[in-house]
Each structure stands twice: as C-alpha cells, then as structure tokens.
Structure 1
Amino acid sequence: MNTGNLYRLAVMGLALFFIVNPCLAQRAASAEDELAAIMARHQAIGLSVAVVKGGDIIYSHSFGWKDRERSEPLRAGDVFRIASISKSFVATGIMQLVDAGKLSLDDDVSHLIGFRVRNPAYPDSVITLRMILSHRSSISDKNGYFTLDALNPEKDAGWAKAYNDYAPGTDYQYCNLNFNLAGAILEKHSGQRFDRYIQRHILEPLGLYGGYNVDALDSTRFATLYTYDSKTDRFTPSPAAYQSRAEALKAYTPGYSTPLFSPTGGMKMPVNDLARYMIMHMHYGQAQGVRILSEESSRAMQTALTPKSGYGLALRTLNNLIRGKALTGHEGVAYGLYSAMYFQPDEQFGIVAITNGCNTGFTDDVINDFLHAVYNCLYRNFLL
C-alpha cells in the first residue's frame, strides 16, 4: 500500500458522517483527498476531525491508525487524551461555582487552597482565582507541576522557585501548575472529588463520554499516542498517557492530591463528544436545550485578559489560525498528541482536530503546522 493510500484509509464504518446537505458528500471527498496528502506530508499516525455549524456536527471522520503496531484503524468513538484543552473543563467547573455563589474570581487563592500562595518578591500582592485561570498569577512551572508541594511553603523548602520575578496580575506566562491548583480548589469547594465533579456537572448533563479517571473508562477505546523523534525519524508509543491511578488513589487527600488526575491536561474523550462540548461554549453556556453555565460566565471565559496572548479564562482567541477569522478555544500537546478545539461564536462554526502523532513544526508558537493545514482544509471545504 503506498503512502497516499495508507492515509486515505477509510474502511466502511470507520467514519461517522453527519451529512445534512447532499452537496457535502462532494466536499467530503475533496477534503479527504487533501487531508490524506497533509497527513502523508507530516507522517501523521492518525487523525480525527469534526466540523460544527450552528448546533450540529456536519462532518466527522477518522483517518489512519489507532494502533499502528496492531494495524488497528482509528474509528469514530475512539478516545484521546486531549491534553491542555482539559483546562477549559476546570475553568467551566470553577465558573459553575461562581454562578452558584460559592466562589468569586477575586478570591485570594491562599484562602481557597489552605496554604500561603504568595510571590516572595511581592508578598503583599494577592494572587486571585482570576489570575490563575488566566495565567497571570506569576506562578511558573519551574518547580514542577505534578504536585501542589511545588509551591507549598509547608512542604517544599524550594517553593520560591515556583514564581516569576514580576508582580501577580501584571504579566502572562502559560503555566500548568495554575490549573492543577485550580482543580484542587474546585474539588475543595464543591465537596466532590475532582473527576466526579466534572463527570456529574459537565459531562453527564451534556450527554458526553469521557473523563479524567482513566480507570473509569473503556481502555479498548484508547487511541495509542506516539512521540516523534526527529533524530531517528521514528515514532514511539506513549503508554504513560493512560496510566492507571488506582494504586495512588488509595492515599488520596481531597483538595490537595488533585494533580493526580491532571486537571491541566488529563481529560480523555472522543472527538465528536469534544465537538459537542465546544458547541456549549459556542452558544455561551448551553447546548441542546441544556444550560450548564451562565452566559455571563461563559463570555468571561472567552474575554481576553492579556491582549498579546488572547488568553481569557482557559480559552484563548487566535487571529492567525484561519485568515480573517478570530477563533476562540484551546489547543493541546502531550505524549506526541496534538489537539485543537476552536470556534467562531458570531458565525456559529467550529472545528475539532486531534492527531495521535505526527512530524510537525510550529510557525506561530501556538498551533502547529499540521493542525493549521487541517483547519484550513476543513474550513475551505465545509464552511466557506
């Protein structure tokens, strides 16, 4: 099988189409040829995409391999670890508690988490919930982010290394520790374990399959993730992406051990379910007649607080993904996977695309060249 045919792999039943207009069939054929070429150019292992218009998924397709070693094709319904798009689920949960009057975005994080969270260079500057959700807290990942010990003065003598040298609220730096901290706050003030809160208050009301607890999901649906090594030009499977937490949960401390679930990047979900979640944000907090977030809170998430980055509260706005369109959403990179979920709320369209491994560069430091090409292909063929 030649390379072009390999990436055109579309065995009957692998793709899930939502064709509401007969002319979309012709567009789909054109798009699939172009996507096959893009995949071949970037040596992509697999690709799943969904295109949304209004409140509907108008096109969805899976290409390539779920598990290359087993020659197992990628199918509709297969589950990916979606990486940093996960941050938006944390912020959605936090904003639900804001809507309920249990939290305020201006609350002092120290009071919310139960230990002192202060930049040592600016000890009198309060670090707020709004700051950690917008990456304006001055907290960094320099001390690690897999445990809250990284910035807890009571646990780590080197806690001061977890901060940058600018005052909280004055600058932006993307930081995973912000969202592992936010996840712990969500858990502490909801009274529910983090993964269960997300399941009960976001996924179940919207009818979505997925979750942060790998042991609660069907492992046969997991798409293998592959890390590319440019030195050897080889792809290596990344089993750590779906590592069980069952043993570690035996010593779980609510409101502190939360990074175990990786609120910052550990959501696992199929592409079509992620697209339906995106529709909720595109419609400012509701989808299919179900409202899970107030319009005010949803708009707050989408409002950029740092113009240069376009970042709001776990959602950012990009102006260079599709020329002439301001798109809001988030992207992710982890274990070789690249993901993107971006939408245009005024024009009511959006695209989700995830690859479980490819060889790509970054032209603009946010969306890689592979996903950039995929987005523009889908936009031209289905949304113009």
Structure 2
Amino acid sequence: MKRLTLSIITTAILLSGCDKDNDVVVIAPEKPAMIESFNGLWEIKGTGEVWDLSSNGLVTYNFNSNTCIKADEESAQFTKPLADYLSLNDEKDQLTFNSPASSKVELVKLDALPSQCGADNLTTDMTLPEIFDYVWLSLDEYYGFFELRDINWQAVYDTYKPKVTASTSHAEFMIIMDEIFTEFGDGHLSLEGPQGEQADGSKIDSWIKEGIWNGDGDINDNLAQLQAKELSVLKHLMSDGQVHSFEGTDAIRFGHISPELGYIRIDRVSGMIMDDVADNILSRVEQDLDNTDLIMTHTLEQLHDADSIIIDLRYNQGGFDKVSQKIAGYFTDSDYTFGTKQISNEAFKGEAIDLDVTSNTELNFTKQIYVLIGEHTISGGEVLAMALQSLPHSQLIGEATNGSVSDTLTHQLPNGWELTLSHEVYKNQAGEVVEGVGIEPDIETYAYATVDHKYMTDTPIEYVMQQQNVVSSHAKSADKLQQAVREVVTKTSLPSISVAVIKNDKVVFEHAEGFANLEQNIPATVNTPYNVASISKAVTGVAIMQLVEEGALSLDDKLTEMNLSFDPNNPQSPSSTMTLRHLVTHTSGIKDSDRFFCTYYKYEDQLPLATLFGLSFCEEDIPVTTSLEQLLEQDYFSEQGRYVGSGVYLDGEYGQAGEVMSYSNMGTALAAHAVEKKAALNLAEYMSESIFEPLGMNNTQWDHTKLSADNPKALQYNIDEAGTAHALPEYGYATLYDGELNISSHDLSKLLAAVANQGSYQGTQILNAESVKQLIGAQSDVFNIPYQQGVFWYWDGTFFGHNGGDPGTNTLMIYNALTKTGVIMLTNGEDFIRGKEIIQPHLDNLAADLYRFGVQYK
C-alpha cells in the first residue's frame, strides 16, 4: 500500500493511516502563530527524527546510532500552515505538534545535530548491504514489538546478513527483506524500493485467503469480485434493496435492514470524499474531519428512527485516529477515554497519551450498536473499533482485528528507499496492549466467508437480526417455500427434491416435491430414502467417534497397528507413518487414482458403471472388485493393482502423511476398513444399532435391498444437455462408506440436529459433547483453504456439514453454528456428468431460501 512521505510533518499527520492515498475539513485556530517562533533543532525522542526549522523552511533528518540521512527539505511556504499546530513550553525547550490526524507529538530542543548528522558524516548513498544494516539497526532501536511478535532480531541478523552481499541483485534483496518482514505479521512494517516495490509484514488474513482461493487471476481482482459479491448480499439484506451514501461517496455507506435495524458500513477513516482534495496535507486532514461531520450527520439523520444499528468495520483499511474518534463521538452523549498510546522501544519510553472521544452534542445515537470486525479491520479502523468497544451499549461481533494498530514511523533512505515501522504501543481501556492481538470481539465468529455469498447471507448480520427479532423482507413463508421447491423441480428437470430445515435441535420445515421414480410415478416424500453420496462420510465419522468414545480405537492409532493384512503407507516415504487421524482429515497423502471411477459397478452384473457414460478406460467385460478388503489389499495398495492407474499417492513430499490436505474417497474407505479390523465389527451393522435405531431413522440403510419394500429408495437419474432424465441402474462400489448410504431427508435431519445439539436429539444421546467437539472441530493443523477439517465433517465459515455428488445424486447438509440453522437438500438427479451444469445455481438459491426461513423462524 503506497505511503505518502513528503516530510516528517506528513509522517506525523499520517501516523495512524494505513490507506494513505485517500483524502478529505477542521477549523484552524483563530490566531495562527508565526512559524519563525519555532525555529531551531528539534528531536522526536524514540523515532530517530530531527526537525531543523528555520525561516527557509524545514529540513528533516532520519538517523540511528550509526547512520544519518537528510530525508526532506521543504520550503517556508509548505511549513507556514504548520505553525497553527505548534506550541512551546515556557522554557522554550519543548515543542508540541498537535496533529490534526492523530495525537500530540513532543519534540525536545537540541543545541546541535547528532554527530552522525554532521555535514561530513551524512550518508547520501547506500549499497544493498548498507541498506540492510540501516534497516536492521533502525528496527533494533525503534521498533516496539519484538517480544510481542516473538522475533529474535539478533538471530535474524545472523541468518540473513551473510545473504546480502555486493553481488546480491535488487530482486533478491527484496525477496530476503520480504521473507524477514513476513514473520512479523505487522501491516505497518515495510521497506519500499525506488520503483514502488515493497517488502512488508502484512499477514495473509482470512479475506485475502478467500481471494486466493476464489480464482487464478490477480489477487486484487479476486478481492474486488468478492467485495462486489458482498455488496450484492448487503443490498439483498436491505429492506429497499439498496445501500446508500452521502452524495455518492464510498467511505461510509448505510441502509435499513428493517425500520428497527439500521446499517452503517465504514470502509476507511481517511479520504472521506475522494474528489475533495486539498493542496497540502494539513488541509487534507482538516477536510477529512469536516467531511466526516457532513457524512455522519446525513447518515444518522436517515437512521434516527432505528432501535439499533450495525456498524460494519470488517473492510476498514485504516486512516486517521482523529477521524475515528470523531465518528465515535456520534455514538455517545458524554466524553470518555478509551485507551492510551505511547512511544516505547529500545531507544525511548515516552509518556502515555490518552485517547479521547468528544461527544457530538448536536446529534448522537446512544441506543444499541453492533460492531462487526475482522482481520481486515486495520490501523485507524482498529482505533475506531476500540473506541466503540468502550461504550456500554455496544457489542463487537466477528474476529479479532488485524493487530497493526501502532502509528507508523517513516524513515527516508537515499535513492528513493523508504522504511516504515511500528513504534507506539496502544492500550485499550483495560490497559491491555492491542498490537499483535487486535481488538477482540464479544461474540466470536467468522467475519468473512464466501459460503455466505452462496446462500445470499451474511452470518454476523443475520445473527444481529436474530437478536433483534428482525424479519427480512426477503424471507418466504412456509407456503412460499413449498412453491419455491416446486419451481426448482419444474425449471431444472430434476425428478425430485426432498428438503428439511433445522432450527436449534428441531425440524421446523420439511417438504418433498417430484417423483422418486418417474417410470412408476412414485411420488417423493420426506421419508423417501435417497442415495446421499459423500454425506455418507459424515455419518461414518459419527460412528468412528462413537468407537473412540467407547475406547475401542483412537484417532492417533497407526494404520500398521490396526490389524490390517497389508501396509498402506507410501513406500516412497519410509519415514511417513499414517494414522487414522490422517485418513479422517484427508491428510494421508492418498489420492483417488485416475481409475477410481472404475470401481463403480452395476448391481445387476458387477460390470463397470463407467461404460454407460462412454468411458472406455475401464475393463468393460470383467466384473469389478466388490470386496473392500480385496480392493484395498490387492487392487489398490499393491504395485500391480488393477485400479492403481496413475498412482495412489500424491507426488513427492505431498505423498507423505500430514503434509497436505487432499480429498480422498479411497482414504475414507481405508479408514472404515481399518476401524472394522481394529474394533472387530461390521461398521454398517454397528451404525444401525448405535445411530439409526436409537434415533428412529427407519428409512436409512447402507444396503438398499434392506429398505422397506413399501418405501424403496429414489431411483437415480442423470440429466443430459437436452434436459432429459436418464434412469441409472442400481450401482455401488466396494468402498461403500465413502458414499453409498441411503437415507431420507427426515432421518438425516435427526442426525444433523443431534450433532448440532451436542450429540442429543429429543432425549437420545448418540455422542457426548466432547466427542461432538472432536467430530466437527479442526483435527489437523495442515494448511487448507477454505475448509477446516474435522472427522470427515468440515467447516466453511460458520457452516459445518458435508455435501455429496455422484451419478444421479446431488445432496447438501449444512448447519450454521452461530445462527443455529441447518438445511438438508436431497435430489435424485444431476447434470454435472452429461448435462450443462445449470442446475446448481437453482439449488443454491433454494438453499438460500431454506436457510433464511430457518434463521428467522420463531
């Protein structure tokens, strides 16, 4: 992010700014002083900065204990407005700069420049090794957070200094510096090169991760698309379908979610009106402050009838402390102090300066406010969050903010290089340091998740709506919801859909539409069993955790100690030891080979299902292996196995257990088989006795032939490009537990409700609370975007559950842990094999309607 540094004046003004390309009015003192009154040499202790004020203007020096650089020279015309913000003590040996953007800056009088700043000692040029030394020593003396950020700075020097030599290229140097700074996770730490290239300490927050995940193009384009989608969701949630602003500006936007609930989104605290740019930096800050008053007055006048307001800071890029403090003043009827700031580093420890809010007595909103925050809330945005958190009528919701709160200290180096670092400690009202930690929410939840976009929702906002009993204008009644299910069946050529909505631990809506069997005109009901494909894995996960709870096995059991007749460990990675935990979290290094689909067989003749789809790489006339143990031992984890194909392990180091997360059906089958061997049982029979029967899941079976003849499973259909549904023969696979469960939406809703309710459904306990926590909690620290993986169950944002897809099957099972709302949607058709893939958007929209019904169900 570009940083403006015209002089130390600019630096002092922009101390709290992170988005410094932005601009915006405060009234200057009535009797401006003369700049000549302040002539002399002045040092800001703990910063390595000296001002040389004279009738000619201002010269700024940046220095550390070894080196000094003449950073800026500004004319008297430029420094003249500065006089309005300067004052001297009685002894005239201390100068105070009352920054209109941040807090006061204290300077002490010097009789002479530091020795290293003498004319003969000034540094006017630097090699890359010298720049490295200057950066390292300046941080050593002025950076305030080595211990807090767990940085051994001397070790950094010892490791990286030898890598920077006279032959190091510019590009190599920037890579080295970026590698060093990345360890800090500090958004205010950076080294900018002469062409604008930058090494910085910014951490990859969850919003950035979503941007990386959601496309192969430019990350900024991806983030722009995510933000555009977020805005479309916001508009969907507003009662009039619009997000408004003052004269089209975009720093602050607002709307009504309902007459009782207002919404304000504040994306920055500088550049409040982007086309209203003043000639100099001081006027720009003054303009920002005046424009903040214009915008906030207009916004609150529009929302004055609301009983509560959501203030959304999740995308706030920062700016000026004083703008944040001014905004906070609109939400209190009394002045207050919300924290302190203080220069604190190896070189100097200054006085603690109070961070104050002055109430706007003409207009303020003192009813309930909900403040949404996240990792992308940074710098001045964090100051605003901290100020609002101190109010008794506020509640913060989301994730901890970025933790890059300190003012930025800027040093200008020769040849266009610029260093910025953090040197001031901010503490909240409780006296806690917020640097590195951020502002903690009162209600913790994911602040950003694209899964919300999929269902046209925003979980933190929906949570507030629940707390305020606000009903969205877009919510459908039960009758309208039935009609919506019917319309999807009509528009998509799907044979049928069966759905359920869960609120807390109760089923609050269920409906089925269409035919379980088109040829026989058998209508679908909520009790019709459907093949649910990979949702089967989630059900298998429940059984595994029951056995863990019983002490029959452990997630840390090594596969070689689970009574298998073969060793599934990667022979190319002899040090890799696979455990059950690796399998249930898809981190085993096992992949599905290119011949995995050849394991699907038609029940009538055990020949490959693949031949129906024109796939010729399977052995067309040879029956498929139907024994799970034989499939695993002889045909997959054997060098000459018939389904090995392109290989059964990921390439290179990724083929080692615990290295990478990669979804694996065969890994699931291996997990189930290992559990059966270790616990000496048939897992399907065990689930019938321990899950299905206790919960009254009467229309659930792994073997479809065991279902009631009066209520057969829904026949599966593949829909082609013309929209014609083709009935598929009954098929299966030896891997069974990865996708062959047959279950009705009514039965599945009972299981989901039990998991959501700490293992209990209507008085029947199938797991204890600790086992449920493990089942759906993160069971691996292997990096993954966007999911967190439990025991086959996964988290996406605040939603947990699983989905499923197979020939003739498309299913969904999700539950939002914050809004206590779940959705189940089962279909007996799909168009992603031979069709146009046009069905999914219709199903996503239906899922959104189902979810909103549940969120707002009373």
Of 126, 151, 160 in structure 1, the residue corresponding to residue 636 of structure 2 is: 151
Identity level (%): 26
2:782 paired with 1:308 = no
After superposition, give the CA deviation of every residue in 1:238-258 in whole Å (9 maximum; x if it has no partner): 2224x6xxxxxxxxxxxxxxx
Alpha carbons 2:582, 2:588 under 8 Å: kept = yes
1:36 aligns with 2:36: no
Structure 1 segment 283-362 matched on structure 2, within 5 A: 283-304=757-778, 305=780, 306-310=783-787, 311-319=789-797, 326-359=798-831
Cα deviation for residue 155 of structure 1 reads 7.5
- Residue 163 in 1 paired to residue 649 in 2? yes
Offset at residue 127 of structure 1 (A): 0.8
| Matching of residues 181-220 of structure 1 within 5 Å | 181-209=670-698, 210-219=700-709, 220=711
Greater radius of gyration (CA): 2
Q: Distance in 2 between matches of 1:140 and 1:198?
A: 26
Provide closer, same or farther for how the CA distance between residues 377 and 134 of structure 1 changes in structure 2, counting only shifts above 3 A: same
CA RMSD of aligned residues (A): 2.6
TM-score by length of 2: 0.37
1:207/1:155 Cα in 2 relative to 1: closer, same or farther (>3 Å)? farther
What's the offset of the Cα at 1:76? Answer: 2.8
1:5 corresponds in structure 2 to: none
Taking the aligned partners of 2:745 and 2:759, their CA distance within structure 1 comes to: 19
TM-score (norm 1): 0.80
The 1:155–1:360 alpha-carbon spacing in structure 2 relative to 1, beyond 3 Å, is closer
Contact 1:353 1:374 in 2 (8 A): no
- Give, in whole Å, the separation in 2 of the partners of 1:55 and 1:158: 43
Q: Render the CA deviation track for 1:23-76: whole Å, top value 9, x for unaligned.
A: 9xx811121223333333322221100111122111110101111122322123
* Contact map agreement 2:497 2:827 (CA 8 A) in 1: yes
Cα deviations by residue, 1:67-91 (Å, 9 ceiling, x for unpaired): 1122322123111111110001212
Deviates more, 1:67-76 or 1:41-50: 67-76
Separation of aligned partners in 2, 1:382 and 1:350:
7
Contact 2:807–2:830 under 8 Å retained in 1: no
Matching residue's letter, 2:715:
T
Gaps of 5+ in 1: 1-22, 244-258, 320-325
Letter in 2 for 1:369: P
Matched, 1:118 2:569: yes
Residue 751 (structure 2) aligned to one of 270, 277, 282: 277
Task: Please tell me the residue identity of whatever aligns with 1:54.
Answer: N
Runs of 4+ with deviation above 6 angstroms: none
1:81 partner letter: N
Closer, same or farther in 2 for the Cα pair 1:114/1:95, shift >3 Å?
Answer: farther
Query: 1:208-227 CA distances to partner (integer Å, 9 max, x unpaired)?
Result: 12121222212442111101
Aligned residues: 334
Kindly indicate whether structure 1 or structure 2 has the higher relative contact order, using CA contacts under 8 Å at least 6 residues apart.
Answer: 1
- Please state if 1:66 is matched with 2:551: no
Distance 1:370 1:194 in 2: 36
Residue 129 in 1 paired to residue 580 in 2? yes
Tell me if 1:221 matches 2:680: no
In the alignment, which residue of structure 1 is the partner of 2:742? 268
Matched AA of 2:773? R
| One-letter identity of the residue aligned with 2:681 | Q
Q: Distance in 1 between matches of 2:841 and 2:680?
A: 42
Deviates more, 1:145-154 or 1:76-85: 145-154
Letter in 1 for 2:759: G
- Equivalent residue for 1:180? 669
CA drift at 1:184: 1.2
Query: SS at 1:331's partner residue?
Result: strand
1:60–1:272: 8 Å Cα contact kept in structure 2? Answer: yes
SS in structure 2 of the partner of residue 135 of structure 1 = coil
Which residue in the other structure is 1:83 paired with? 533
Of 270-279 and 198-207, deviating more is: 198-207
Any idea what the Cα deviations from partners look like across 1:115-145, whole Å, max 9, x if unmatched? Answer: 2111233121101101100111010110538
Deviations 1:165-209 (A, max 9, x none): 112111111111111112212222332222211101111122212
Q: 1:99 to 1:42 in 2, by over 3 A?
A: same
Query: Structure 2 regions of 5+ residues with no counterpart?
Result: 1-470, 600-630
Change (3 A) 1:371 1:260: same
Task: Give the partner amino acid of 2:752.
Answer: M
Amino acid at match of 2:662: Q
Q: 1:99-118, aligned counterparts within 5 Å?
A: 99-112=549-562, 113-118=564-569
Q: Contact conserved, 1:195 with 1:261, CA < 8 A, in 2?
A: no
Specify the alignment match of 1:11 in structure 2. none
For 1:236 and 1:27, the matched residues in 2 are separated by 34
The 1:292/1:155 distance shift into structure 2, 3 A limit, reads farther
AA in 2 matched with 1:224: L
Cα–Cα, structure 1 residues 41 and 289, in superposed 2: closer, same or farther, change >3 Å?
Answer: same
Deviates more, 1:196-205 or 1:281-290: 281-290
Which amino acid in the other structure matches residue 229 of structure 1? D
Q: 1:191 to 1:158 in 2, by over 3 A?
A: closer
